[in-house]
Amino acid sequence: MSRIAIVGTGAVGTTFAYSLMISGIAEEIVLIDVNKDKAEAEAMDLNHGQSFVKPVRLWSGEYADCGVAEIVVITAGAKQKPGESRIDLVSRNIAILKDIIANIKTSGFKGILLLVSNPVDVLTYFAWKFSGYEQQKVIGSGTVLDSARFKQLLAQHCEVSPQSVHAYIIGEHGDSEVPAWSLTNIAGVKLKQYCPQCDHNNFCHKETVMDEIFEQVRTSAYKIIAAKGATYYAIGLSLVKIVQAILRDENQILPISSILKDVYGLNDVALSVLTIVNRNGAGKQLSVPLEEKELQALQNSARILKEIITTVKY
């Protein structure tokens, strides 16, 4: 049975559970939370929809239920406040993470650990350190969501389907993230070649427009959090994409966060690069060609994260 354990039944955890239930790719879903009443209530509410989805066993459980899970998804942690960066959450969430990892290890869990709580790159790194698991077994949701935002905004501007847009955000899931414009294409056509055919008059040659689109990607979470307190719908769908790639051994190329092993000359830091995702978790990390300014921005993103890692006390 494919069991997914979700630690944390806040907005992100429960929205992911709902999306996962609808997708039909997991046979068992277990919700774990320090607030047991909340976990039980969420499981009850979700179970009332059983007649509308494919068969799935869903319940509120304990850390012991992680033992035979294929993936444990950690969404628990302090919530990002309006005006607060993801990095500001470090000190509050490291202590929570350390306790969660200890409980997961006690269960005998041998699967893939997927971090979602912010700052996801820093927490992915420390989840690896705390757990002692193999590098490829500890991954973060990274910039899969950021890349989806990037695609949607480009698609909206060019008036095409987001599914026809191939675009990636790499680096930190946060303020130092990097838009890989040189890799961006629409239906396989490089942006600079596609734009002359577009009704928007070669926007790729107008840096102000490019900057505006990326700024919307980078700051969209802040705007959503300021208005409604949290982001959860799109990240829930992003997590289904990652989990599906693992369960079905798809070898999907996704910008997940993982511990870098000599990629672009970077090591011993977790951030997002294009990575083959399969049954083993993070497969080969791809050093795809980047423009020099993109490479420098990626290295700067890694430097910022490494500086934060060295300051963390636990």
CA distance linking residue 154 with residue 284, whole number of Å: 28
Q: Are 35 and 101 in contact (CB under 8 A)?
A: no
Of 123, 92, 210, the closest CA to residue 158 belongs to: 210
CA distance linking residue 222 with residue 60, whole number of Å: 31
Q: Which of 157, 166, 173, 200 is catalytic?
A: 173
Catalytic residue status for 205: no
Q: What are the catalytic residues?
A: 173
